[in-house]
Chains A and B, each alone.
Chain A
Amino acid sequence: MSPEIGHFALWLAAGAALLQGIAPSIGLWRHDEGLVALARPAAVAQGLFTLVAFLVLMHAFYVSDFSVALVVENSHTMKPTMYRLTGVWANHEGSLLLWVLVMAFSGALVALAPSALGERFRARVLSVQGIVALGFFAFLLFASNPFARVWPAPTEGQGLNPLLQDPGLTFHPPLLYAGYVGLSVTFAYAVAGMLENVIGPRWAREARIPLAIAWAFLTLGITLGSWWAYYELGWGGWWFWDPVENASLMPWLAATALLHSIVVVMKRDALRAWTLLLSVAGFSLAMMGTFIVRSGVITSVHAFAVDPLRGVFLMVLMALYIGGALAIYAYAAGRVTEGKQFALVSRESTLVANNLLVTAMLGVVLIGTLYPMALEAMGGAQISVGPPYFNRVLVPMMLVMAVLMGIAPWIGWRRSATGHLSARLLPAGIAALAAVSIALWVLGVRGLGWILGFGASAWLAAASISILMKRGLTPGIIGMALAHLGVAVSILGATASGALQQEALVNMRVGDAIVLGPWRAELQDVRPVAGPNWTAIEAKIDVTRHGRPLAQLRPQTRTFIAPPMETTESARAGWRTGEVYMVLGKPDGEGRWQVHMWIKPLVRLIWWGGLLMAFGGVLALGDRVRLKRRAGQAAHRAAPALQGA
């Protein structure tokens, strides 16, 4: 199959995007029903053609068609099949094609799904989507053509990079892109809503669906990325606050705030202007994030081989889209601000507090990420902003959030009575006190941050679990409680693996053992081993706990052959949601080997919490579905303050 088919399909998809973007807008302006009706078929066509282009590229990778430059640079006949296929998106051009595919696909979904807001509105949404997609198609076709050919075709590819052959790294981009692109749908809803002047509860109810799905995907993508970094990068950390990570965290924070403020629009028709701004910000941050990594604007090690043309192209795209949306906002937001008032102590105001906190956190991350760049642009010194800054400012905010998250679901809409609140929060209070006491006196934890972390996670967990035990539950309420519980679980994992971590760095001979409390790690053997494209020195270390054998860990220092690269392959063993983490270092020439060992209790909870959050977020969409028939109105009135998420 000629790759030119894919190239042609891409052009057709771009044409469909052009049609989808321009025709409905002109039709709405000129009251031409025919043009407006083109929106839906154009969107479906765009989806189909992009899918064809993507499948053709995937096929080229699968059969190792080295007439395609991208395949030459990024693939190899010796690559395992799965990585040949997924290698499609492990490079700049291919990942952009994936981005465009997800975008086209979601546009097709919007075209095909029922809409409660009418054909006119939907046509407007598709038109915005089409215009956004057009820019990316242009970038692909003119500056990053995935179907560029090579003649004569080489007989072998150059892309056997072992670091890219990894399941975690492989599925991280699609999940993230699903999240970013989902935010583009919300973006389109917001712009369309402003242009059609339909912002209100019905708009919010519908816009919420792609938002929640996008948020869940983003959560999963970030969780996966964190887990990958933990096991692959060899130092036991799970978040490094580097620009690449922050680029995915910032849209997530915006989406989290948005998820909560859109509910206020839905239930009380308030916070409309703010919600619109967040909708624009979410996708803007997603765009900025993806492209910061590709254009070298952030002076870090993370630039692709920088082609200044690409960087400028991307920047112009971003300026047009974000600037355009914000200009529309400046013009139209004045119309949509008249919302209803609300009481000081009410669900609405707790959601406002949530939004303030999350936005403050977003601002802090944004400042920390952009500050080095700003300083450098103004001729200042080169600096790096890392974990010390982010942890110092964000951890206290996170703890405050956790406390508020425990309280807020108990406060009703329009309600302000606080009388029953203390009774309902009693379990949470007891749990928090118990956790703090155990941490202080049983586990011997020192350090205010750690102790508060244990307390906050226990508080939030207990509060969320007690919600789950109430009557009148809907999937919406269950989803919210589970998502908040997921946050508590992650906080527990992060706190425990930090506060209770044990660590040993030794120089040991065969037969020596590391002893850490009940843990014992004995070095059995160190010998060379070989794999399909690598050789390594591998240590065999037997790990026991209280004398009972747990696992034999085999950390390696590995040398890959093509391309030549040395890596450290850590070895891990799980124990009750915690992990033993082992890294092998260099020999000292006298028969001793450097070994670094960590015991990280409860560390896996960090990622289990993420999974729970994503699941809860999607479940929370089902707030209209009742699980049990209400036992009469009296029971409903008696079940206090517990209303839809």
Chain B
Amino acid sequence: MRGSRLVWLAPLLLFAGVIILMAKNIGNSPEAIVRSHMVGKPVPEFAFAGSAGLPGLQTADLRSGQPVLVNLFASWCVPCAIEAPQLEELRRKGAPLVGLAIRDSNENITAFVGKHGNPFSRIGLDTNGVSMLALGASGVPETYVVDGRGVIRFQHIGEIRPEHVPVLLRELEKAR
């Protein structure tokens, strides 16, 4: 009877194997898949005109000696509207914020920040989305922590939810 007991255990063992496989993949969830390979590297050179009455953004602005949050957004991006309150909270807590408007127009961006609030000190208008390729971003919204010497230190993919705010503040501190 011993032997046949083991047979009945087989499905359970098989299932355990599948669960372990899945657990490994939750660790490697889509975030890992689309992780930018630019984390740890300096921001590539770019220069964009401003929008919504704010000055534009160029790479030199990101070498100011202070770590900065760079937020990629667009007026056509629904989660960007959802994360607006969190961006506002970050600004209130003293985080320096600049924006990169991806594949958008000055008109739409002005309307967007008018409606959802403007936490940025600068907005770079990237009409062709080349900054996305340069930064290794795969979509919007994404938010990067860039340290005082212009090196990318952290990437947050997707909208910023309330629970991500302390994480980003911590990463900003680490990047000092």
Task: Please tell me whether chains A and B touch each other in their complex, using a CB distance cut-off of 8 A.
Answer: yes
If over half of A's interface residues share one DSSP class (helix, strand or loop), that class is named, otherwise mixed; here it is: helix
Q: Which residue from chain A places its CB closest to the CB of B158 in the assembled complex?
A: A305
Write out, one digit per residue, whether chain A residues 512-549 have a CB within 8 A of any chain B CB (1) or not (0).
00000000000000000000000000000000000000
Residues of chain B lying within 8 A (CB to CB) of residue A298: 25
The CA of A158 and the CA of B19, in the complex, are separated in Å by 36
Given contacts A158-B78, A323-B15, contact A334 B8 (CB under 8 A): yes
| B26/A296 in contact, CB under 8 A | yes
| B19/A323 in contact, CB under 8 A | yes
Partner of B76, one of A280, A308, A373, A564: A564
Instruction: Looking at the assembled complex, report how far the CB atom of A462 sits from the nearest CB atom of chain B, in whole angstroms.
Output: 39
The CA of A158 and the CA of B24, in the complex, are separated in Å by 35
| B8/A330 in contact, CB under 8 A | yes
| B26/A373 in contact, CB under 8 A | no
In the assembled complex, B128 has its CB within 8 A of some CB on chain A: no
The CA of A2 and the CA of B5, in the complex, are separated in Å by 55
Given contacts A322-B15, A334-B8, contact A563 B23 (CB under 8 A): no
| B81/A373 in contact, CB under 8 A | no
Q: Which residue from chain A places its CB closest to the CB of B10 in the assembled complex?
A: A330
| B159/A315 in contact, CB under 8 A | no
Interface residues of B in 3-56 (CB under 8 A from A): 4-5, 8-9, 11-12, 15-16, 18-19, 21-26, 28-31, 33
Instruction: Looking at the assembled complex, report how far the CB atom of B166 sits from the nearest CB atom of chain A, in whole angstroms.
Output: 15
| A333/B8 in contact, CB under 8 A | yes
| A563/B76 in contact, CB under 8 A | yes
Residues of chain B lying within 8 A (CB to CB) of residue A331: 8
Instruction: Looking at the assembled complex, report how far the CB atom of A170 sits from the nearest CB atom of chain B, in whole angstroms.
Output: 20
| B8/A373 in contact, CB under 8 A | no
The CA of A273 and the CA of B81, in the complex, are separated in Å by 54
Interface residues of A in 304-345 (CB under 8 A from B): 305-306, 308, 311-312, 315, 318-319, 322-323, 326-327, 329-331, 333-334
Residues of chain A lying within 8 A (CB to CB) of residue B15: 284, 322-323, 326
In the assembled complex, A374 has its CB within 8 A of some CB on chain B: yes
Instruction: Looking at the assembled complex, report how far the CB atom of B7 sits from the nearest CB atom of chain A, in whole angstroms.
Output: 9
| A377/B78 in contact, CB under 8 A | no
In the assembled complex, A299 has its CB within 8 A of some CB on chain B: yes
Given contacts A323-B16, A334-B4, A334-B5, contact A312 B25 (CB under 8 A): no
Instruction: Looking at the assembled complex, report how far the CB atom of B167 sits from the nearest CB atom of chain A, in whole angstroms.
Output: 12
Residues of chain A lying within 8 A (CB to CB) of residue B81: 158
Partner of A306, one of B1, B8, B31, B78: B31
The CA of A322 and the CA of B24, in the complex, are separated in Å by 18
In the assembled complex, B79 has its CB within 8 A of some CB on chain A: yes
Instruction: Looking at the assembled complex, report how far the CB atom of A73 sits from the nearest CB atom of chain B, in whole angstroms.
Output: 7
Q: How many interface residues does chain A have, given as a range?
A: 35 or more
In the assembled complex, B134 has its CB within 8 A of some CB on chain A: no
Partner of B19, one of A281, A315, A330, A376: A315
The CA of A374 and the CA of B17, in the complex, are separated in Å by 11
| A373/B21 in contact, CB under 8 A | yes
| A315/B22 in contact, CB under 8 A | yes
| A315/B23 in contact, CB under 8 A | yes
| B22/A373 in contact, CB under 8 A | yes
Residues of chain A lying within 8 A (CB to CB) of residue B9: 330
Residues of chain A lying within 8 A (CB to CB) of residue B111: none
| A305/B159 in contact, CB under 8 A | yes
The CA of A544 and the CA of B27, in the complex, are separated in Å by 57
In the assembled complex, A346 has its CB within 8 A of some CB on chain B: no
| B11/A296 in contact, CB under 8 A | no
Tally of B interface residues using CB under 8 Å? 29
In the assembled complex, A55 has its CB within 8 A of some CB on chain B: no
The CA of A330 and the CA of B10, in the complex, are separated in Å by 8
| A373/B25 in contact, CB under 8 A | yes
Interface residues of B in 61-108 (CB under 8 A from A): 76, 78-79, 81-82
Q: Taking each of A297, A299, A306, which has the highest tally of chain B beta carbons within 10 Å of its own beta carbon?
A: A297
The CA of A374 and the CA of B81, in the complex, are separated in Å by 36
Residues of chain A lying within 8 A (CB to CB) of residue B26: 295-297, 308, 311-312, 315
The CA of A104 and the CA of B93, in the complex, are separated in Å by 45
Residues of chain A lying within 8 A (CB to CB) of residue B19: 315, 318-319, 323
Residues of chain A lying within 8 A (CB to CB) of residue B18: 370
Partner of A308, one of B11, B29, B78: B29
Residues of chain B lying within 8 A (CB to CB) of residue A315: 19, 22-23, 26
Q: Which residue from chain A places its CB closest to the CB of B6 in the assembled complex?
A: A330
Residues of chain B lying within 8 A (CB to CB) of residue A306: 29-31, 158
In the assembled complex, A303 has its CB within 8 A of some CB on chain B: yes
Given contacts A73-B82, A315-B26, A377-B28, contact A299 B33 (CB under 8 A): yes
The CA of A326 and the CA of B81, in the complex, are separated in Å by 46
Write out, one digit per residue, whether chain A residues 376-388 have a CB within 8 A of any chain B CB (1) or not (0).
1100000000000
Residues of chain A lying within 8 A (CB to CB) of residue B82: 73, 158
Residues of B within 8 A of A (CB): 1, 4-5, 8-9, 11-12, 15-16, 18-19, 21-26, 28-31, 33, 76, 78-79, 81-82, 158-159
Give 27 A-B contacts (CB < 8 Å), ordered by A residue.
A73-B82, A277-B11, A280-B11, A295-B29, A296-B26, A296-B29, A297-B22, A297-B26, A297-B29, A299-B25, A303-B29, A303-B30, A305-B158, A306-B31, A308-B29, A315-B26, A318-B19, A323-B16, A323-B19, A326-B11, A326-B12, A329-B8, A330-B8, A330-B9, A334-B5, A373-B21, A377-B21
Besides A299-B25, A303-B30, 17 new A-B residue pairs in contact (Cβ under 8 A), listed by A number: A296-B26, A296-B30, A299-B30, A299-B33, A305-B79, A306-B29, A306-B31, A311-B26, A311-B29, A322-B15, A326-B11, A326-B15, A334-B1, A334-B4, A334-B5, A373-B25, A564-B76
